[in-house]
């Protein structure tokens, strides 16, 4: 965990491991503070690898015994692993080590959560379990024996034997160590089953702590839907007799795709109408699908090295977003994904943490499980599909699975299947994997003699380590409308490859109105001086739902920008155009709910910064409030009536239809609360029979400042439910007035239920504080200082989660000199801590660079 001189690892230094592994046998003798791990591994020389000393990774292991071909040996141990002399041919390695899962607070390797044993090995956690070549290109079949009194003992693959105090598992599919998993404890299962397309029956289970059985039905439904979808859309069938999911309370991320034994953060799998919001249900459906889809994109075909992480993550995010689009509304999903990309990936790509989708160096790989690798990685695949077309995409994927099944691959392998199926040269396209930063695309237009011309210019600002940028391949989806609002040129994908490039549309009788970058067809910043009346026209008429939303969002950003920089009043022409969409009952309520949400303050800070204006968080908060107040006042005549149309009088269902209505109803309630002081919100709170309505109402009450009684009654009602209490911790910090946010967060850290070593609880308070934009950026710097105090404290226990949280400082250079200096001081204070983890050292070094 502690490392004073972190080493940088380079993609260009890749070399294959000198041995292959035919079989890996593992025995665990479980005990909280002294678990014994016995390994027996058959190594064979790898003819394709250069000569090298025999090295096995191993960290924080207590060696008990080591032997080669039955003869005890004494290897040379270091903090990273061991070396020893080995025979020139094949040999059998045996080792016994001792580890202490109960003392493992980093939640990496074998650890305990609420008395239950569980593992997390991606990326490099297996080396904390035993000595092994812990790298994704070393694949082996695993046979695992677990010895212990725990009633349930699980590992990867199929169960082969069990009895008093032991269970054995065999995984027939060769896999890298990062996909190993073990779970043991007092667990109960929610069973299910699935018959695959070739008629094989698969046993399904969701394993939970006793008491959580009632929260598994949705996860099971989502799993079955995912299995069916992957067969139907990608032709991918499941390949074991059993598929297990386990819910764990203490977990650093969302979930993990271990072969046949997915381990989930309980927040990413457990759901019930009473305890989970619609957004929770949708997220669970997506994460279950994501982890399940990894079975092919990640597990059957894995990564050669960790620089290729986007090979599995970008593709699997892309697949899970296709799945959600099919299960729900593709338009709503796309808008949500772009909101998320701009909120999380753009700041990363435009700040000190910017890195390519395929990074070329790292110190701690855990720091590269980022929005760039995941979400921009998925955008890159979306562009590839747009460029080659749906049929070629399907063919390329078939070839990918056929050619690379069982292999550890690279981005070059991935692109080659597209080149080979389409004959297209993807050399330039590959820049999307190598070049960091967000391209800016500007456009001007002209119309002459029936010919309409769009002139595009692209450029990407410099990013750390990459001063000069080359033009990217940009698929620009464009449609043209005539002045009546009819579409005269349907969506056409223009393929831009040069720094500047023109595209002509001929034979038009009148100057058209362009709808550019439909569906957000490339992850760029579009700079175009569009007159507001044209944006209102698109808001009213565009056939592309994304651009309809974007037109309004643009008007919203322009409105808030003028409010803070020129002190103007809210743009009523925009509000009136928006009103027509929101009240159009022919439109999907979920879409209307998205239209109703104004740009966030963080988004506005990004926008102003891009315009060369230093954002003032207090002014942005005031403008946001004034805008919402203006919406409420201007629309006071119909808000309540429209909200009434959102009522659902059927049993709760988390699907798109009902959740869309609740989303719109919730957005309307938030405006209504400004008019009635919280009366409607209180009524909804009192009558709510599901968490979406209950939490939505509570949020309104907190925002209205009328919160104390409702917050107290909520805590009383839900004190026994960790996941609901996370919402209680988060909501009050996120929704409270900014001048009270730091004090509230600080008070909550003294709450008896503030179990700060639990990542969900830590994030509930501090993730929420960072989301309260003006609260976190309080002028006196107290928000920064409080967070830094806690990051320093958490780093001693859990470097991975601490390092991830450091990224809330990634926008620090945007702000005024005072705030900048305060954030810099806190980052330097963290950096100066003796014994700081490698994870956090790398993050703060990059942030300060």
Enumerate the active-site residues: 291
Segment near ligand TRP (CB under 6 A); pick from 66-74, 250-258, 474-482, 714-722: 250-258
Distance of closest approach, residue 255 Cβ to ligand TRP, in angstroms: 5
Distance of closest approach, residue 806 Cβ to Zn ion, in angstroms: 21
Segment near ligand TRP (CB under 6 A); pick from 117-125, 542-550, 640-648, 678-686: 117-125
CB nearer Zn ion, residue 374 or residue 549: 374
Is residue 255 part of the contact set for ligand TRP (CB under 6 A)?
Answer: yes
Measured in degrees and rounded to the nearest 5, phi and psi for residue 665 equal: -60, -40
Q: Which of residues 350-379 bind ligand TRP (CB under 6 A)?
A: 369
Q: Can you tell me the distance from the alpha carbon of 163 to that of 273, in angstroms, rounded to the nearest whole number? A: 38
CB nearer ligand TRP, residue 684 or residue 800: 800
Q: Can you tell me the distance from the alpha carbon of 142 to that of 168, in angstroms, rounded to the nearest whole number? A: 11
Size of residue set near Zn ion by CB under 5 A: 2
Largest CA distance in the chain: 89
Distance of closest approach, residue 203 Cβ to Zn ion, in angstroms: 24
Segment near ligand TRP (CB under 6 A); pick from 255-263, 327-335, 443-451, 587-595: 255-263
| 152 φψ region: left (φ > 0), alpha (ψ -120 to 50), beta (else) | beta
Distance of closest approach, residue 313 Cβ to Zn ion, in angstroms: 5
Q: Which of residues 643-672 bind Zn ion (CB under 5 A)?
A: none
CB nearer ligand TRP, residue 123 or residue 184: 123
Sheet strand arrangement including 474-481: 487-496, 474-481, 513-516
Helix boundaries (H) for 345-452: 346-349, 371, 377-388, 390-404, 411-422, 431-434
Complete DSSP assignment for 661-694 = HHHHHHHHHHHHHHHHTTHHHHHHHHH--SHHHH
Q: Which of residues 675-734 bind ligand TRP (CB under 6 A)?
A: none
- Which one of residues 113, 189, 205, 252 is an interface residue with ligand TRP (CB under 6 A)? 252
Segment near ligand TRP (CB under 6 A); pick from 115-123, 220-228, 548-556, 665-673: 115-123
Other C-beta atoms closer than 10 Å to the C-beta of 687 total 10
CB nearer ligand TRP, residue 122 or residue 544: 122
- Which one of residues 291, 349, 795, 842 is an interface residue with ligand TRP (CB under 6 A)? 291
> What b/e readout covers 455-465, taking b as 16+ CB neighbours within 10 angstroms?
ebbbebbebee
Copy the structure tokens of residue 235. Answer: 């032709």
Measured in degrees and rounded to the nearest 5, phi and psi for residue 48 equal: -90, 0
Question: Of these partners, ligand TRP, Zn ion, none, which one is at the site of residue 147 (CB under 5 to 8 Å by kind)?
Answer: none
Distance of closest approach, residue 57 Cβ to Zn ion, in angstroms: 22
| Cβ pair 8, 363 in contact under 8 A | yes
Is residue 754 part of the contact set for ligand TRP (CB under 6 A)?
Answer: no
- Which one of residues 313, 375, 542, 554 is an interface residue with ligand TRP (CB under 6 A)? 313
CB nearer ligand TRP, residue 99 or residue 595: 99
| 503 φψ region: left (φ > 0), alpha (ψ -120 to 50), beta (else) | beta
Question: Of these partners, Zn ion, ligand TRP, none, which one is at the site of residue 261 (CB under 5 to 8 Å by kind)?
Answer: none
Sheet strand arrangement including 81-83: 55-57, 81-83, 76-77
Segment near ligand TRP (CB under 6 A); pick from 97-105, 116-124, 499-507, 577-585: 116-124
Q: Can you tell me the distance from the alpha carbon of 583 to that of 598, in angstroms, rounded to the nearest whole number? A: 16
Q: Can you tell me the distance from the alpha carbon of 234 to that of 315, in angstroms, rounded to the nearest whole number? A: 12
CB nearer Zn ion, residue 316 or residue 345: 316
* Cα-Cα end-to-end distance for the chain: 23
| Cβ pair 310, 357 in contact under 8 A | yes
Is residue 245 part of the contact set for ligand TRP (CB under 6 A)?
Answer: no
Distance of closest approach, residue 316 Cβ to ligand TRP, in angstroms: 7
- Which one of residues 41, 144, 253, 741 is an interface residue with ligand TRP (CB under 6 A)? 253
Binding string, 303-332, against Zn ion, x = CB under 5 A? Answer: ----------x--x----------------
Which secondary-structure segment (H or E) carries 98? strand 91-99
Copy the structure tokens of residue 231. Answer: 């067969």
Other C-beta atoms closer than 10 Å to the C-beta of 673 total 23
Segment near ligand TRP (CB under 6 A); pick from 27-35, 167-175, 253-261, 413-421: 253-261
Distance of closest approach, residue 173 Cβ to ligand TRP, in angstroms: 17
DSSP state of 837: B
Write down the residue that tokens 């900014």 correspond to: 738
CB nearer ligand TRP, residue 372 or residue 659: 372
Helix (H, G, I), strand (E, B) or coil at 333: helix
Size of residue set near ligand TRP by CB under 6 A: 12
Question: Of these partners, ligand TRP, Zn ion, none, which one is at the site of residue 375 (CB under 5 to 8 Å by kind)?
Answer: none
CA-nearest of 104, 116, 75, 117 to 1 is 104
Distance of closest approach, residue 334 Cβ to Zn ion, in angstroms: 20
Segment near ligand TRP (CB under 6 A); pick from 91-99, 247-255, 685-693, 775-783: 247-255
Distance of closest approach, residue 374 Cβ to Zn ion, in angstroms: 7
Question: Of these partners, Zn ion, ligand TRP, none, which one is at the site of residue 253 (CB under 5 to 8 Å by kind)?
Answer: ligand TRP
| Cβ pair 626, 604 in contact under 8 A | no
Distance of closest approach, residue 612 Cβ to ligand TRP, in angstroms: 37
Is residue 257 part of the contact set for ligand TRP (CB under 6 A)?
Answer: yes
Distance of closest approach, residue 122 Cβ to ligand TRP, in angstroms: 4
Helix (H, G, I), strand (E, B) or coil at 8: coil
CA-nearest of 5, 104, 8, 123 to 57 is 123
Q: Can you tell me the distance from the alpha carbon of 190 to that of 208, in angstroms, rounded to the nearest whole number? A: 8
CB nearer ligand TRP, residue 136 or residue 599: 136
CA-nearest of 440, 327, 318, 332 to 380 is 318
Is residue 122 part of the contact set for ligand TRP (CB under 6 A)?
Answer: yes
- Which one of residues 20, 39, 119, 120 is an interface residue with ligand TRP (CB under 6 A)? 120
Task: Tell me which residues touch ligand TRP (CB under 6 A).
Answer: 120, 122-123, 252-253, 255-257, 290-291, 313, 369
Task: Tell me which residues touch Zn ion (CB under 5 A).
Answer: 313, 316
């Amino acid at each position: 965990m502690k490392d004073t001189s972190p080493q940088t690892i380079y993609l260009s230094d890749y070399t294959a491991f000198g041995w292959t592994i035919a079989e890996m046998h593992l025995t665990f003798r479980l005990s909280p503070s002294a678990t014994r791990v016995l390994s027996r591994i058959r190594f064979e020389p790898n003819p394709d690898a250069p000569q090298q000393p025999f090295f096995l990774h191993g960290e924080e292991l207590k060696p008990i015994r080591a032997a080669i071909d039955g003869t005890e040996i004494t290897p040379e141990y270091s903090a990273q692993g061991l070396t020893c002399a080995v025979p020139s041919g094949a040999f059998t390695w045996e080792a016994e080590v001792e580890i202490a899962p109960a003392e493992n607070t980093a939640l990496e390797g074998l650890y305990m959560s609420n008395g239950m044993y569980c593992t997390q090995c991606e990326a490099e956690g297996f080396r904390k379990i035993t000595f092994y070549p812990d790298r994704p290109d070393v694949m082996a079949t695993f046979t695992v024996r677990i010895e212990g009194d725990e009633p349930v003992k699980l590992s990867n693959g199929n169960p082969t034997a069990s009895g008093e105090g032991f269970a054995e598992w065999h995984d027939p599919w060769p896999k890298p160590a990062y996909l190993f998993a073990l779970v043991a404890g007092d667990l109960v299962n929610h069973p299910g089953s699935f018959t695959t397309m070739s008629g094989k029956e698969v046993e399904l289970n969701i394993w939970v702590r006793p008491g959580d059985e009632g929260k598994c039905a949705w996860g099971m439904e989502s799993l079955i839907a995912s299995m069916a979808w992957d067969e139907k859309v990608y032709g991918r069938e499941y390949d074991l007799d059993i598929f297990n999911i386990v819910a764990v309370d203490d977990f650093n991320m969302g979930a993990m795709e271990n072969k046949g034994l997915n381990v989930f953060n309980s927040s990413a799998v457990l759901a019930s109408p009473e305890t989970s919001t619609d957004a929770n249900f949708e997220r669970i459906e997506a994460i279950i699908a994501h982890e399940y889809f990894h079975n092919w994109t990640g597990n059957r075909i894995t990564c050669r090295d960790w620089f290729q992480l986007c090979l599995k993550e970008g593709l699997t995010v892309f697949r899970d977003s296709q799945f959600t689009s099919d299960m729900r509304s593709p338009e709503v999903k796309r808008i949500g994904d772009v909101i998320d990309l701009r909120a999380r990936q753009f700041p990363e790509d435009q700040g000190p943490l910017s890195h390519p989708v395929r990074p070329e160096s790292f110190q701690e790989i855990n720091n590269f499980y980022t929005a760039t690798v995941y979400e921009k990685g998925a955008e890159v695949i979306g562009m590839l599909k747009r460029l080659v077309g749906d049929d070629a995409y399907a063919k390329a994927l078939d070839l990918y699975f056929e050619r690379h099944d069982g292999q550890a691959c690279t981005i070059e392998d991935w692109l080659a299947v597209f080149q080979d199926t389409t004959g297209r040269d993807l050399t330039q396209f590959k820049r999307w994997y190598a070049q960091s930063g967000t391209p800016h695309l500007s456009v001007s237009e002209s119309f002459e003699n029936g010919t309409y011309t769009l002139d595009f210019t692209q450029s990407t600002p410099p990013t750390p380590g990459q001063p000069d940028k080359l033009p990217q391949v940009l698929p620009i989806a464009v449609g043209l409308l005539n002045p009546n609002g009819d579409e005269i040129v349907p969506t056409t994908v223009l393929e831009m490859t040069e720094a500047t490039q023109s595209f002509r549309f001929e034979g038009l009788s009148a100057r058209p109105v362009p709808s550019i970058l439909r569906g957000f067809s490339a992850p760029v910043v579009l700079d175009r001086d569009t007159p507001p009346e044209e944006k209102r026209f698109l808001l009213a008429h565009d056939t592309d739902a994304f651009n309809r939303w974007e037109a309004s969002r643009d008007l919203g950003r322009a409105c808030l920008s003028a409010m803070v920089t020129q002190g103007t009043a809210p743009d009523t022409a925009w509000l009136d155009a928006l009103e027509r969409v929101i009240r159009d009952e022919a439109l999907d309520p979920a879409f209307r709910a998205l239209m109703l949400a104004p740009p966030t303050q963080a988004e506005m800070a990004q926008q102003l910064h891009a315009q060369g204006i230093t954002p003032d968080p207090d002014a942005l908060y005031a403008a946001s409030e004034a805008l919402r107040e203006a919406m409420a006042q201007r629309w006071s005549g119909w808000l309540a009536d429209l909200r009434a149309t959102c009522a659902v009088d059927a049993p709760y269902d988390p699907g798109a239809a009902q959740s869309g209505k609740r989303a719109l109803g919730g957005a309307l309630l938030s405006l209504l609360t400004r008019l009635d002081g919280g009366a409607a919100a209180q009524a909804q709170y009192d009558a709510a029979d599901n968490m979406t309505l209950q939490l939505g109402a509570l949020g309104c009450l907190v925002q209205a400042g009328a919160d104390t009684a409702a917050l107290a009654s909520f805590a009383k009602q839900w004190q026994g439910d960790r996941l609901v209490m996370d919402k209680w911790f988060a909501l009050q910090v996120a929704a409270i007035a900014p001048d009270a946010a730091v004090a509230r967060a600080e008070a909550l850290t003294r709450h008896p239920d503030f179990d700060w070593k639990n990542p969900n609880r830590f994030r509930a308070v501090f993730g929420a504080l960072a989301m309260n934009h003006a609260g976190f950026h309080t002028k006196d710097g107290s928000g920064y200082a409080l967070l830094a105090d806690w990051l320093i404290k958490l780093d001693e226990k859990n470097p991975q989660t601490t390092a991830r949280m450091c990224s809330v400082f990634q926008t620090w250079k945007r702000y005024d000199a005072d705030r900048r200096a305060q954030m810099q001081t806190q980052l330097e204070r963290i950096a100066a801590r003796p014994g700081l983890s490698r994870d956090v050292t790398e993050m703060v070094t990059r942030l300060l660079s």
